[in-house]
Amino acid sequence: MKGTFGCRSGCPDYTGFGAIGDRYDWVVGAYARGHYLIPASDDAVLWMEGCEPHTRNFGGTVLVTRQSGKWTVLW
């Protein structure tokens, strides 16, 4: 699950820089997979770097779940 997100299309809307349309790399720094929603779910917590100001340590956390083979951002 490593990769860069938003570098061509801009930062995601849910990030600090997304609302103003800035373009930065949105990179997975680390992740932890588990069953966070229900015992049978395939979920991951992603620590992201970029698309956030220095007051938020240039990153944030994203919760994703996999349904029908696709990852979906929940929070």
Asked if residue 65 lies in contact with residue 51, where contact means CB atoms within 8 angstroms, the answer is no
Per residue in 8-25, pLDDT (tens digit) is: 557 777 788 877 777 777
Bridge partners (DSSP) listed for residue 72:
65
Q: How many domains does the chain have?
A: 1
Residue 35: what pLDDT?
96
Tell me the residue range of the domain where 57 lies. Answer: 4-73
Q: What is the mean pLDDT of the chain?
A: 80
Q: What are residue 54's phi and psi, to 5 degrees?
A: -60, -25
Question: Residue 1 pLDDT > 60, yes or no?
Answer: no
Per residue in 42-54, pLDDT (tens digit) is: 999 988 887 877 7
